[in-house]
Amino acid sequence: MSDVLLKRNTKMHSSDIGRDFVLVSSEGTEHPVHKVVLSAASPVFCRMFSSNLEECKTGRCEIPDIDDATLTGLVRYMYLGCLECVKEDAKKLLAAADKYQVLDLKNHCQNVLIDNLNMDNVVDLLFFAQQMVTAELKQAALRYMAADPGKTMASAGMDSLLGSGKTELITEVFTAMLKLPKN
């Protein structure tokens, strides 16, 4: 985004002028927004605002599955196309971006998660990737686990995986560990 456009959007994001819709987080915090900004950033909001849904009539949308910090990040991204580092909130933001089809944010969050894979979080992120249907994150987690089968097998996460009953996912992990060429 050009500097001029970013300045304008930052001004619009921080101003209450012209806000015509309210998003409400799971904690009940209200986020006044501009429909046009949300419509441009999200096909889900675009469809909502183009319909006769109850939210259009009331001018507000309650979002019970998105907490305040995540909704703040999502809205900020829809206005500015950027956000402060999301390492700690990347999973929640990815889920919100997926729900509202903000694909560039979803990809950004997925990349943050991939860049921060480690033995402590890889199984959790593998479960998350399968739940969110993010093939790139899932493949990165499988590659990470396959790169050091010894550490993977000794990890607490592996105990969690083996006890999960997710036989298909367990099979994928072992298949990945067997296929990776060893140096």
Q: Does 1.25.40.420 match the CATH number of domain 117-182?
A: yes
Between strands 30-33 and 21-24, the pairing is: antiparallel
Name the 3-class secondary structure at 30: strand
Compute, in degrees rounded to 10, the torsion defined by CA atoms 56, 98, 87, 7.
Answer: -50
Do 25 and 62 contact (CB within 8 A), yes or no?
no
Give me the pLDDT at residue 2, please.
76
Q: Encode the chain (183 residues) as per-residue pLDDT tens digits.
A: 678 877 888 777 878 888 899 999 999 999 999 999 999 999 999 999 998 888 888 999 999 999 999 999 999 999 998 877 678 899 999 999 999 999 999 999 999 999 999 999 999 999 999 998 899 999 999 999 999 999 999 999 999 999 999 999 999 999 999 986 655
Residues 6 or more apart whose CB falls under 8 angstroms from that of 183 comprise: none
pTM of the model: 0.87
DSSP single-letter state for residue 182: P
Sequence ranges of the domains in the chain: 1-88, 117-182
Give me the pLDDT at residue 82, please.
84
Q: Where are the beta strands (DSSP E) in 30-159?
A: 30-33, 60-62
Nearest residue to 154 via CA among 115, 114, 120, 116 = 120
Give me the pLDDT at residue 116, please.
95
Name the 3-class secondary structure at 96: helix
Give me the pLDDT at residue 12, please.
75
117-182 and 1-88 share a CATH fold: no
Domain 1-88 fold: Potassium Channel Kv1.1; Chain A (3.30.710)
Give me the pLDDT at residue 182, please.
56
Give me the pLDDT at residue 8, please.
82
